[in-house]
């Protein structure tokens, strides 16, 4: 199930690479900065030692989507920095403009046996390896 969900992220980002972000679409992407294939500047690793949320909205550059992840240059306080985010490192992928979100739980369980839970709200004790749709009401002010 995780592979299918990551394939959807790849498809969405590939379309953005080809056509740009349409309308009000924008993405909040949280990823594991400790992932061995994640690439980011040392100062960003120090500032975000376990996870980081990036926003692709008004300014991003040189989006390159591959089968394993994506590279993008983002602006951090007037300092453009190149990032590479493997799909396996993504913890959440949210597009608030269309109330769409994916959340990946612990990555340790084999993807072949993961389940998608899109009917129950998140609880305090999620099962390892479980993926679920994020309810965007929690992000609203």
Task: Give residue-wise pLDDT tens across range 33-45.
Answer: 999 999 999 999 9
pTM (predicted TM-score): 0.68
Task: Give residue-wise pLDDT tens across range 10-68.
Answer: 888 888 888 887 777 888 889 999 999 999 999 999 999 999 999 888 788 889 999 99
Q: What is the pLDDT of residue 40?
A: 93
Q: What is the pLDDT of residue 133?
A: 52
- Bridge partner list, 30: 53, 92
Q: Round the average pLDDT of the chain to a whole number and report it.
A: 77
In whole angstroms, what is the distance from residue 28 CA to residue 24 CA? 13
- Domain total of the chain: 1
Structural contact between residues 1 and 115, judged by C-beta atoms closer than 8 angstroms: yes
Sorting pLDDT into bands at 50, 70 and 90, what band is 137?
low
How many Cα atoms are found within 13 Å in the side-chain-facing hemisphere of 124?
Answer: 0
What is the CATH classification number for the domain harbouring 42? 2.30.30.220
Q: Does residue 88 surpass a pLDDT of 60?
A: yes
- Strand pairing category for 131-133 and 116-117: parallel
Mean pLDDT of 115-140: 47
Task: For residue 51, give its domain range.
Answer: 2-139
DSSP-derived 3-state class of residue 42? helix
The better pLDDT of the pair 107, 68 is held by 68
Q: What is the pLDDT of residue 113?
A: 38
In whole angstroms, what is the distance from residue 42 CA to residue 81 CA? 11
């Amino acid at each position: 199930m995780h592979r299918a969900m990551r394939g959807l992220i790849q498809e969405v980002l590939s379309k953005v690479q080809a056509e740009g972000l349409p309308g009000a679409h924008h993405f909040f992407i949280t990823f594991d900065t400790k992932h061995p294939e994640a690439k980011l500047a040392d100062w960003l690793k120090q500032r975000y030692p376990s996870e980081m949320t990036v926003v692709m909205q008004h300014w991003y550059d040189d989006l390159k989507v591959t089968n394993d992840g994506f590279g993008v240059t983002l602006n951090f306080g007037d300092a453009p920095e190149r990032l590479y985010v493997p799909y396996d490192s993504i913890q959440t992928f949210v597009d608030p403009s269309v109330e769409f979100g994916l959340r990946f739980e612990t990555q340790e369980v084999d993807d072949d046996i993961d389940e998608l839970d899109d009917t129950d709200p998140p609880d305090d004790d999620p099962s390892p390896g479980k993926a679920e749709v994020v309810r965007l009401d929690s992000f609203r002010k």
